[in-house]
Amino acid sequence: MYEIHNDGIIITKYTGTDGGVAVPAFIHGRKVVAIGAKAFQDNQRLGSIKLPDGVESIGTSAFARCGSLTNISLPASLMLMDSYAFSDCRAVNEVMLPDSVNELGDGVFYRCTQLRRVGLPAGLVVMGLSAFAGCASLTEVVVPFGVAQIGSRAFSDCSQLTDISLPSTLTSLGAAPFYNCAALTNITVDPGNSRFLSQDGVLFDRAGRNLLIYPPGRAGEYSVPAGVTNIDYAAFSHAEGLTGVALPDGLLGVGYMAFYDCPQLSTLVLPGSVKAIANYAFSGCTALTQLCYDSDAPAFVGDYAFFNAPQLTNYFVPGTRGWGNSLGGRPTAPWPARYDQWAAAIGLADKYPDAHGMNDDPDHDGMSNVQEMAAGTEPSDPESVLRFESEARAEALNADDQTPVEPGQWVLYFQSVPGKNYEVLSGASVQGPWTVVTHLAAAATQKRVLLPWPATNAIYRLKLSP
């Protein structure tokens, strides 16, 4: 079946039963110029197809789900292969595309699971999203000079793909183009490319600020280079052999799904510069037990940032700000490594060989050692504690904290350590959220806080500030 258009014949439907089909170049004296959408779709008898010179386009899903198709012959006149043209043709193992083709539509060879080799055309400019997604037998791809655009997930789930080369002409790369390519170990970029670069087989933007793709087939540890400020969308996703990552100072953001499904990653230290952790950033990191933060809590953490990371605890440096009982749905705790450093610095183990652990209380003042570290108090002195007090101790206050209290003001006192900085926070419940009320510097062993008389009941909390 066909339609006649001004510029020639469009094949709209094949109803024959032949296993091999050679489309004629002319029908009733008119040139065949296109294969229409779904023209051969779901034909399970079709084993080979030969298109004549003069055909310029292949329509959407024209040969989709032709499960017996193994031999494809395409003419030098072909320019466009539209979306899903050969999708789910699971018997095809090799395709040579003529140099005349300048655009491959979305999903054009989607789930051609036996496709081992594809010759990409010299004239290719645009490669659509998921163009070769699910081509599980494809092992190597050289993207030719001239290609400017590669769509999102263009080669996703190509489980045998080990190497890919990107040309100097490439200017646009969609999200996660090599998503879940479990064998991919190396990405190379032509040195003349103005948008992208490769360092040790890892893909970055040209400025080296965004880490775009870490080949998921690599195993072991990796150090992100200095100068990187962002881990991009799904950059390390499905890196199943990744055991450790060193992140640089100056890193600002961890993107959506950045470390999604990295099952061997167990511990990660986030520099204090990190301000945002996107949703699903560490989702599926089932062995991840420790995320350690060098400074204040990030300003933004997605509600699902740690989804399906059941062993994770977020560890913070005592005295840093913004920490509650949980972060992104996972519990928080003081950073054990920093506790060890503090304990060693003050000789706690020498003083108390049997009571130098984080939860021990050698001076029996009701504050554990880790609480003493967070408060800046002395763990061997029962009088050195951080606590609110109900009354002033005139001998312990400096002169500024003994002035008369104005009407409408409310007074809090707390025991302090001279030279330390504190912040007072308020909340409606012990679960928070907490709001900083004021910052204070202590010059004596007691400090006064003057607050407006509260309109509603509130809970107040003290923290040591850096």
pLDDT tens digits, one per residue of 372-390: 887 778 899 887 777 778 7
Q: Are 298 and 328 in contact (CB under 8 A)?
A: no
pLDDT attached to residue 375: 72
pLDDT attached to residue 385: 74
Q: What's the pTM value of the predicted model, to 2 decimals?
A: 0.75
Q: Which of 168-182, 404-418, 430-444 has the highest average model confidence (pLDDT)? A: 168-182
Mean pLDDT of the chain: 91
Confidence label for 284 from pLDDT (cuts 50, 70 and 90): very high
- Distance between CA atoms of 162 and 157, rounded to whole angstroms? 12
Question: Does residue 456 carry a pLDDT above 80?
Answer: no
Residues 6 or more apart in contact with residue 110 via CB below 8 angstroms:
84, 87, 88, 130, 131, 132, 133, 134
Mean pLDDT of 260-268: 92
pLDDT attached to residue 150: 97
Long-range contacts of 268-276 (CB under 8 A, 24+ apart): 268/244, 268/292, 269/294, 270/294, 270/298, 271/247, 271/295, 272/296, 273/249, 274/247, 274/298, 275/299, 275/300, 276/252, 276/300, 276/301
Confidence label for 288 from pLDDT (cuts 50, 70 and 90): very high
Parallel/antiparallel/unpaired status of strands 290-293 and 313-316: parallel
Cα-based torsion angle of the residue sequence 369, 371, 374, 375 in order, rounded to the nearest 10 degrees: -100
Q: Please write the tens of the pLDDT for every residue from 292-325.
A: 998 899 999 999 999 999 999 999 988 788 998 8
- List phi, psi (to 5°) of 371: -70, -35
Question: What are the C-alpha distances in Å from 425 to residues 155, 322, 327, 429, 439?
Answer: 51, 10, 18, 12, 9
Q: Which residues of 61-71 are buried (b: 16+ CB within 10 A; e: fewer)?
A: bbbbbbeebee
Give SS3 for 80: strand
pLDDT attached to residue 305: 96
From 340, 338, 312, select the one nearest 326 (Cα to Cα): 312
pLDDT attached to residue 466: 60
Give SS3 for 338: helix
Cα torsion angle, 36, 42, 46, 47, sign: positive
Question: Does residue 434 carry a pLDDT above 80?
Answer: no
- Distance between CA atoms of 24 and 21, rounded to whole angstroms? 9
Q: Say whether the peptide bond before residue 433 is cis (omega within 30 degrees of 0).
A: yes
- Distance between CA atoms of 138 and 136, rounded to whole angstroms? 6
Cα-based torsion angle of the residue sequence 355, 358, 360, 364 in order, rounded to the nearest 10 degrees: 110
Query: Which stretches does DSSP call E strand in 367-408?
Result: 388-389
Question: Does residue 41 carry a pLDDT above 80?
Answer: yes
